[in-house]
Each structure stands twice: as structure tokens, then as C-alpha cells.
Amino acid sequence: DVELVESGGALVQPGGSLRLSCIASGFTFSNYNMNWVRQAPGKGLQWVSYISSAGTVHYADSVRGRFTISRDNTEDSLYLQMNSLRAEDTAIYYCARGVNKNYAGWHFDYWGQGTLVPVSS
Amino acid sequence: QSALTQPASVSGSPGQSITISCTGTSSDIGAYKFVSWYQQHPGKAPKLMIFDVSNRPSGVSYRFSGSKSGNTASLTISGLQAEDEADYYCSSHTSTSTLGIFGGGTKLTVL
């Protein structure tokens, strides 16, 4: 079965940094595009970042220049390095599988359980 | 970029059908067939219900269906059941610098 497990969420002060991890299992990780999606407390979903199977990256305007997405296909792992954190970055961060590299599409078919990142002094 | 526009709430009685709309622009919903819908129960991760406008993933009930016309996509749930009570989000690929966008979410109440 496909499984995505996030970790790394913690309380961080404004201006601080944090690195989130997502370990994938149950599928050939290197064949899939991957994403981070976040949800502020009581709010809706917001797409944060994307990395293709080959390493092409994209970011939401609100995090571009502060967040860096990366992946390690040898470790079946996805990462999100978050710098210069702000109170408005407070959210549950979900790792979400995108489409297969051989498929043109945009959707998230498997999600992790999420990891909470509170940004507060 | 602003979120896709969804009604904040909809409701229906068991057995009835409801439709949730999702309005975007010619840069997102109007430009691509890549519209998807997600169901989220409280405290849980979202679940994919519809992808590519009208396709259901394996295991999703036939009671869920999707469509699109112009810049507006719709999710229809027929034969409402108590377990359908949840938040629903639409999403689309976009041609702007932001690769993808979600709607603000719709809370479905089964009366």
C-alpha cells in the first residue's frame, strides 16, 4: 500500500528555519512528481511546492525565495527546507503524491497524515 | 493569485443530490482539463474524489461525479449519505507562476 509519512514539524520562532521530511513507501518514488500542501488552522488547503520526478521545482508566490523543495530518490524521501518563517506559515504541512512522470495531469492521489508547524514567539 | 471560488456551505437530506460549484478563470479551470476534488473529514488528511474533471479513482463511490463548463467546475453527490458530511475542495492546474490552486472549501452538511 502507498504510504507517506511526514516528520519534522515543531514550534519555531518567527525568522527561524525548519526542515520537513516525507518518507514514501509502497510505490516507485522516482517515477512520481511530489508536492507539499499546507492548511492553516481552521482554513483551507494551499498548494506550497512541487518537484517533478526529474527535479524541476515550482513554488507558491507566498513561499518562493524562502522555501526549498528537494527529493532523494535513493532514499524515497521528499524534503521541504523552510527559512525566514513567518506567523502566517503556521499550518499543517502535507506531503502529497502527484502524477506519474509519464502522465500529464494535476492532482494529488495520496496524502500523508501531515506535520504541524506553529510559528510563534 | 486568488483561490478558486466555492460556496462556503451546502446542505441536503439523505438520499438527495447536491452540487458544489468551483469558479476560476481562463488561466486555470477554463484552460485545462486538470480539475480535481478532495473530501476532508475533521482531523483527517484530504482524499482524492475526482481527477481530470470527471474521473473517479478506484474505490470512490459512483455517487460522486464531476463536470466542467467554461471557467466553472462542479462536483455532484447523489444519494447523499451521512458519511458524506465533510469539507470539499476543488483544485486546478494554472498557467500562472503558481502551478496549482485550490478553492476555499465547501462544508457539506447532511441534514
pLDDT at B89: 98
pLDDT at A6: 97
In chain B, % of residues over pLDDT 90: 93
Q: pLDDT digits over B46-90, tens only?
A: 999 999 999 999 999 999 999 999 999 999 999 999 999 999 999
Nearest-Cα distance to chain B for A47, in Å, is 6
Q: pLDDT digits over A69-104, tens only?
A: 999 999 999 999 999 999 999 999 999 999 988 888
- Band of residue B3 on the pLDDT scale cut at 50, 70, 90: confident
Q: Are B59 and B48 in contact (CB under 8 A)?
A: no
Q: Residues with Cβ < 8 Å from A12, sequence gap 6 or more?
A: A18, A85, A117, A118, A119
Backbone angles phi, psi at B73, to 5 degrees: -110, 160
- Band of residue B1 on the pLDDT scale cut at 50, 70, 90: low
**Cα-based distances in Å from B26 to B4, B13, B81:** 12, 34, 34
Nearest-Cα distance to chain B for A97, in Å, is 11
| Yes or no, beta carbons of A113 and B89 under 8 Å apart | no
Tell me what the pLDDT averaged over chain B comes to. Answer: 95
In chain B, % of residues over pLDDT 70: 99
Q: How far apart are CA B88 and CA A44, in angstroms?
A: 10
Q: pLDDT digits over A5-56, tens only?
A: 999 999 999 999 999 999 999 999 999 999 999 999 999 999 999 999 999 9
| Surface of B (23-52) touching A: CB under 8 A | 32, 34, 36, 38, 40, 45-48, 51-52
Mean pLDDT of the region B80-102:
93
| Yes or no, beta carbons of A111 and B47 under 8 Å apart | yes
Cross-strand bridge partners of residue B109: B11
| Yes or no, beta carbons of A45 and B105 under 8 Å apart | yes
B88 at interface of A, judged by CB pairs closer than 8 A? no
